[in-house]
């Protein structure tokens, strides 16, 4: 089932006319059928949101490499085994860019085995390119946090997996958008872990920026992709570390234990 929700988003007069139409649209892809659907009372070891950069610094080829790399990493046999060993995870995704542009979201999808992963990975790979403009990193994290605020979500750990190729854009007059600092503080208050995947292409100090300004929470970390061609390999390593943490959550008779 696919649905669309209109939002009132402020658009600067300098943006291209094409962006004006996109600026008011947020597309939600709801997966409401099949056993991949997240059930209100089903609990998972990890709830994980992928927050993927589609800002203007990323061209169409690079966007395609990101989505294909993420899709392939999700399907990798080692990742499948880790998810099965964990007892199952629930996944969602946000494709973010400038706050004046459209945002694509894939709603919560329960994953217990290979067929679920194949379904989710195919949807991720097929997500059309939207966005452009500046790098509103904080806005992307904020929207991922909104997904994690779902009151029906039951998970021992809540994690945001944010990837991008640049630092947050600073405007002389800030648009209607949340800064990365505000988003990081909200995650800390909500006990949400943020891990980073820094695509080191044009900004060699991006890993340091992600460590100091993005990653937060118990066991948080940053992994580097040496350019977009390395994105899939870096994402696979990141997923294995996220799904199988050092202190794996366990479900006991007394509830969730860390």
Does 21 reside within a domain?
Answer: no
Q: What is the pLDDT of residue 113?
A: 86
Nearest to residue 217, comparing CAs of 162, 137, 166? 162
Nearest to residue 169, comparing CAs of 85, 56, 254? 56
Q: pLDDT tens across 158-194, in order?
A: 999 999 998 988 765 555 568 899 999 999 999 999 9
Q: What angle do CA 12, 13, 17 make, to 5 degrees?
A: 105
- The residues, any chain, with a CB within 8 Å of residue 171's CB and separated by 6 or more, are 134
Find tokens 């990141």 and name the residue: 238
Q: What is the pLDDT of residue 212?
A: 95
First to last CA, the chain: 36
Q: How many domains does the chain have?
A: 1
Q: What is the pLDDT of residue 73?
A: 96
Does 257 reside within a domain?
Answer: no
Does 15 reside within a domain?
Answer: no
| CA dist., res. 71 & res. 66, Å (int) | 9
Does 7 reside within a domain?
Answer: no
| CA dist., res. 126 & res. 67, Å (int) | 8
Tokens found for residue 187: 């995650």
3 state DSSP class of 55: coil
Q: What is the pLDDT of residue 97?
A: 81
Does 17 reside within a domain?
Answer: no
Does 53 reside within a domain?
Answer: yes
Does 86 reside within a domain?
Answer: yes
- The residues, any chain, with a CB within 8 Å of residue 75's CB and separated by 6 or more, are 114, 117, 118, 121
Instruction: Output the pTM of the full model.
Output: 0.79
Write the CATH number for 84.
Answer: 3.40.50.410
Distances (CA, A) of 171 to 11, 133, 175: 13, 12, 8
Q: Which domain holds residue 107?
A: 26-245
φ, ψ dihedrals at 248, nearest 5°: -65, 130
Nearest to residue 132, comparing CAs of 49, 50, 20, 5? 20
Q: What is the pLDDT of residue 41?
A: 54
Q: What is the pLDDT of residue 14?
A: 34
Residues of the chain with pLDDT under 50: 1-40, 246-258
| CA dist., res. 101 & res. 237, Å (int) | 31
| 104 Ramachandran zone, left/alpha/beta (phi>0; psi -120 to 50) | beta
Tokens found for residue 238: 């990141």
């Amino acid at each position: 089932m696919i649905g669309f929700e209109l939002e009132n988003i402020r658009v600067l007069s300098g943006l291209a006319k094409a962006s004006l139409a996109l600026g008011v649209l947020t597309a939600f892809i709801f997966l409401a059928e099949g056993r991949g659907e997240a059930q209100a009372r089903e609990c998972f070891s990890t709830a994980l949101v992928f927050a993927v950069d589609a800002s203007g610094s990323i061209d169409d080829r690079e966007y395609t490499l990101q989505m294909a790399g993420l899709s392939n990493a999700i399907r990798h046999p080692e990742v499948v085994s880790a998810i099965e060993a964990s007892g199952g995870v629930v996944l969602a995704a946000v494709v973010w860019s400038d706050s004046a542009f459209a945002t694509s979201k894939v709603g919560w999808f329960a994953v217990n085995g290979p067929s679920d992963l194949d379904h989710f990975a195919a949807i991720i790979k097929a997500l059309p390119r939207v966005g452009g403009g500046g790098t509103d990193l904080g806005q992307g994290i904020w929207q991922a946090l909104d997904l994690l605020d779902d009151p029906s979500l039951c998970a021992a750990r809540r994690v945001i997996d944010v990837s991008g190729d640049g630092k947050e854009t600073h405007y002389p007059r800030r648009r209607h958008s949340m800064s990365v600092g505000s988003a990081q503080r909200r995650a800390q208050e909500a006990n949400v872990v943020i891990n980073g995947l820094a695509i080191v292409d044009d900004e060699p100090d991006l890993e340091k920026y992600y460590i100091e300004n993005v990653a937060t929470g118990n066991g948080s970390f940053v992994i580097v992709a040496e350019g977009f061609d390395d994105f899939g390999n870096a994402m696979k390593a990141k997923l294995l570390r996220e799904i199988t943490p050092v202190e794996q959550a366990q479900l006991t008779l007394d509830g969730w234990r860390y």
